[in-house]
Amino acid sequence: MKIPWPRIVAHYRDLAACESSFAGLQALSDYVAAGTLIDELYAWTAAADLCISLIRPNHNFDDTYLRISHNPDGSLDFRYVDTHAGGIRWHRRVEAEQAIPGFLLCLEQMRWNSGEALQA
């Protein structure tokens, strides 16, 4: 189920207030919610992970999506999940300070870029 980006932002802001390792996810959700990507990307959470897709997820979550997880050291893991191809297609880890550039690079690598929306 798609969650509105303002709720995603509030969720990660609350988590970051309790645990600093969520700062990267907070920065990333703030970035998406404040820009043009807010209208292009669907989001939901799975435990503490942020999941993002280009299309509205169905109730089975059986489409491709990007799953972003935080680590205790604050770094973020980006996993491109393609359930049609048998699971995770690739995995990248970035430091919290690189959350936004790392995210934009993932969107580009997945060919989810839409021109102006990815100008950072």
Task: Say if strands 42-46 and 49-53 run parallel, antiparallel, or are unpaired.
Answer: antiparallel
Residue 67 burial (CB count, 10 A):
17
pLDDT digits (tens, 9 = 90+) for 15-34: 999 999 999 999 999 999 99
The per-residue pLDDT for 60 is 56
User: What does the block give as tokens for 21?
Assistant: 């390792």
Those residues of the chain that have pLDDT short of 70 are: 1-2, 56-62, 83-88, 113-120
Burial of 66 (0-12, 13-18, 19+ CB in 10 A): buried
The per-residue pLDDT for 109 is 84
Which H or E element spans position 82?
Answer: strand 76-82
**pTM for the whole thing?**
0.84
The per-residue pLDDT for 120 is 43
The per-residue pLDDT for 90 is 82
The per-residue pLDDT for 59 is 54
Annotated domain spans of the chain: 5-118
